[in-house]
Amino acid sequence: MTDRDPMLDPILDPASMRKHYRVEGVDETDLAANPMDQFRHWFEQAALAAAHGTLYEPNAMVVSTADVQGRPSSRTVLMKQYDDQGFVFYTNYDSRKARDLAENPYVSLLFPWHPLARQVIVTGTARRTGRDETAAYFRTRPHGSQLGAWASAQSSVIPSRAELEASYEELSARYPEDEQVPVPPNWGGFRIAPQTVEFWQGRENRLHDRLCYVAEPDGTWRVERLSP
């Protein structure tokens, strides 16, 4: 007896996987004057969907970077703040993404809110957050996550999981729950200042709405409708 060919099984065949999106869309007249206000509106709806169990981690975003030779890499991280200055996430400054951003500050963010048939795609430039801002956020992290920031030499090759866990246990003994954990010197945030912010809404017949804010030199924004 041979295994079934996954391409003959409609449940497993990628070519036969399709979702019919909604009739309702988004129009230029529905948009806020600037992209961060529009993001706030959509993020509130995504957070509400998460509270009802229909969407997982609305602050999860795919961060795409490229090194000095243009070789790209992507990973999912958690956005920890957004404001008029952009989007903030935290990482080890020795990680691959941080090394990429040190060489090439251009970055893309993608918020994949699939249950809402929505995406937000951001392009912009990254700069490090200040140490005071980093420390203030670090203090809000659970104790275990603070220790984890010390235990992990992010993106480096390690011999085994056991070594990672041993490092964590050593730190746990050094900094028990009631003792303050210092902020690692090689750990901190990046703020992504947007240059474009695209709001993508899935529509019927693949005629999606794509409305993109583009930054102007004078600090204002223009909105372009992109063909799906």
Q: Catalytic site residues?
A: 206
Instruction: Outline where 52-160 has alpha helix (H).
Output: 96-103, 131-138, 143-151
Instruction: Outline where 9-72 has alpha helix (H).
Output: 35-51
Separation between Cα atoms, residue 81 and residue 114, nearest integer Å: 21
Separation between Cα atoms, residue 212 and residue 223, nearest integer Å: 5
**CA 179, chain centre distance (Å):** 31
Q: Can you name the residues that pair with 128 across neighbouring β-strands?
A: 190
Grouping H, G, I as helix, E, B as strand and the rest as coil, residue 197 is: strand
